[in-house]
Every structure is written in structure tokens, then in C-alpha cells.
Structure 1
Amino acid sequence: MSHEKLALELADFWFPAIANETWEGRLHILDEVHAQLYQDLETAGEYEQVSASFVAALIERLGSPPVTHPAQAQIYAGSSEEQHWGAAMAWQFGEGQDAHGGAPAGKERRRWPRERVNLLTEMWVQGRPARCRLVDLSRFGARVMPLRYQPRLPPGTSIRVVTPGGRVRDGLVVFASPRGVGLEFANAAA
């Protein structure tokens, strides 16, 4: 069976279970489905293809509503469709809000500017692997959006993340908000 066909069959099967759930409920159900898929599929590449297409099909069945909730943004960030993960990133960047969801952002206060990135990648939180979307990156830090439910990570939590080019960077959480997790890298080497 093709990856796309499997993803569509999964979406048909799981849609009734998530249709009337809250975004948090949907995210928790999808976390369980993704965990099982990860075990059942032979390679990480197959898992990523099926998982992302499955999420895209579910979002389409839900009518692709605008992103208004942190759990919804996490779901959209895992889609294979650019308009879905683009909507998650637009919501995360706040359409005029700062990273903490506050008032419109003023002048950039960081010493090193951040560059927007859109990379599905791997992170390790206290040694446990998790998929995430790398949202922005600078010489000294980054912001990631976990693709699976993560309890709020307190400042000082150690995270390791794979950055563009496959480089693994160690960092500490400096903030966690519905719009992502801000990291400060342990070393400043670019």
C-alpha cells in the first residue's frame, strides 16, 4: 500500500474520533496515533511521510479553520501541506505579537538577529527524542515548536536540537509559551 493511501485510510478512520474534540483532545489522540505509527512503520522516512500526509488529510476534513490555539498550531505544524504549517508559523510569529504573545513587537532587541527557518527536525528533551519544527535561528539561540504534546518546559531545561546542515546544538530553555520554546545555545559557535 502506498504511503498516501495509508495516510488517507488513517484519516478516514480517525476523523470521527477527533471531529468533536477540542484542539487539546485532538492533539492527545494524534500523539497516540503517531506513537503507534512510529512503531509500526519500518523507517523514520516512512513514518514522516505517512504522518505528515495523515495530519494534512485530517486538517482538510476539519475544514482547515484558521489557527487560533496552541494545540491547533502544533497539529498544523506537522502537516505535509505548506498552507497548514505556514498558518502555524504565522500564528506562532503572532501576526504582530511578540514571541510571548504580548503586545505588538517593537524594535528588535536581540544582539544577534534571528532568521526564520522552517525545518522539521529532531530535538531531545532531557534525553528523550521528539520531533519539532525549527522556527527561527540565530548565532546564540533558536525557537522550536514541538510536534507532539510537551508539558510546559521550565527555564533551564536542557534541550538538544538538530539545526540546518545536520548540526546538533545543545541549549537551555529561556522561555516557553504557546508560540514555541525559546532556546539559548550552550556555545555561540555558528
Structure 2
Amino acid sequence: MSHEKLALELADFWFPAIADQPWEERLRILDEVHGQLYQDLETVGEYEQVSASFVAALIDRLGSPPITHPAQAQIYASSSEERHWGAAMAWQFGEGQDDGATAPMPEERRRWPREIVNRLTEMWVQGRPARCRLVDISRYGARVMPLRYQPRLPPGTPIRVMVAEGSVRDGVVVFSSPRGVGLQFANAAH
């Protein structure tokens, strides 16, 4: 069976279970499904392909509603469709939150400007790996959005993140919010 066909069959099967649920419960259910998929599929590559296509198909079956909730943004961020994870990124940066108005961008106070990256990658918290989307990066830090539910990480929590193929940076959490986890790199050159 092709990966795309499997993803569509999974979406057909799970849609009735999530259709009438709030976003937090949808995220919880999807975390369980993703955990089982990870165990059942032979390679990480297969898992990532089926998982992302499955999420995209579910979002489409839900009618692709505008993002209004942090759990919804986490779900959209794990989709294979650019329009979905792009909406999650826009929500993360304050566009369309609360009353539907675009939030003003805060004045840039960083010494080194951030670069918007938007790359699927991996992070490690307390030695446990987790998939995430690298949202932005600067010389001194980065922001990531976990793809699976992650309890709020308190400031000072050690974290590692793969920032480029084969390049891992150590850092500590400086903030954790529905809009992502901000980290400051350890040993950043001043």
C-alpha cells in the first residue's frame, strides 16, 4: 500500500473520532495515533511521510478552519501541506490571534537579527528526542515549535536542537508559550 493511500485511510478512520472534539483532545488523540504509527512503520522516513499526509487529510476533512487555538497550531504545524504549516507559522507570529486582527510585530531589540527558517528538525529535552519545526534562528538562539504535545518547559531547561543537517546546538529555554519554545544557545560567541 502506498504511503499516501495509508494516510488517507487513516484519516477516514480517525475523522469521526476527532470531528466533534475540542482542539486539545484532537491533539491528544493524534499524539496517540502518531505514537502507534511510529512503532508500526519500518523507517522514520515512512513515519514522517505517512504522519504528515495523515494530518493534512484530517485538517482538510475538518474544513481547514482558521487557527484560533495553540493545540490547533501544533496540529497544523505537523501537516505535509505548506498552506497548513504556513498558517501555523503565521499564527505563531501573532497574525490572526484573538479577534482576527494582525498583532503588531514587536520592535526588534536583538543584537543579531533572527532568520526565519521553517524547517522540520529534531530537538532533545532531557535526552528524549522530539520532532519540531525550527521557526527562526539567530547567532544566539532559536525558536522551535514542537510537533507533538510538550508540557511547558520552564526557563533554564537544557535543550538540544538540530539547526542544520549534522549541526546540533545546545541551549537553554528562555521562554515557552503556545507560540513556541525560545532558546538561548550555550557558548554563543559574543
TM-score interval (norm. to shorter): over 0.9
Partner of residue 52, structure 1: 52
Matches within 5 A, 1:37-48: 37-48=37-48
* Equivalent-residue separation in structure 2 for 1:61 and 1:163 (angstroms): 33
Amino acid at match of 2:94: G
**Match status 1:118 vs 2:111:** no
Amino acid at match of 1:22: P
Query: How far is 1:96 from its partner?
Result: 8.6
Amino acid at match of 1:92: Q
Amino acid at match of 2:152: R
**Match status 1:148 vs 2:156:** no
* Equivalent-residue separation in structure 2 for 1:72 and 1:187 (angstroms): 35
* Gap change, CA 1:178 and 1:80, over 3 Å in 2: same
* Equivalent-residue separation in structure 1 for 2:2 and 2:96 (angstroms): 41
Aligned residues: 185
Partner of residue 35, structure 2: 35
Segment of structure 1 superposing worse, 105-114 or 77-86: 105-114
Q: Percent identity?
A: 85
CA contact (8 A) 1:155 1:172 kept: yes
Partner of residue 138, structure 1: 138
* Equivalent-residue separation in structure 2 for 1:172 and 1:42 (angstroms): 33
**Match status 1:108 vs 2:108:** yes
| Structure 2: stretches of 5+ with no match in the other structure | 98-102
Let me know the Cα RMSD of the aligned residues. Answer: 1.5
CA contact (8 A) 1:125 1:158 kept: yes
- The list of structure 1 runs, each at least 4 consecutive aligned residues, that deviate by more than 4 angstroms after superposition, is none
Cα deviation 1:5-27 (Å, max 9, x = unaligned): 00000000000000011100000
* Gap change, CA 1:75 and 1:7, over 3 Å in 2: same
Cα deviation 1:41-88 (Å, max 9, x = unaligned): 000000000000000000000000001110000000000000000000
* Equivalent-residue separation in structure 1 for 2:49 and 2:93 (angstroms): 26
Partner of residue 174, structure 2: 174
* Equivalent-residue separation in structure 1 for 2:125 and 2:11 (angstroms): 29
Cα deviation 1:145-167 (Å, max 9, x = unaligned): 00000111100011110012331
CA contact (8 A) 1:133 1:147 kept: yes
Amino acid at match of 1:142: A
- State TM-score, norm by structure 1: 0.94
Match of 1:118, SS state, is strand
- State TM-score, norm by structure 2: 0.94
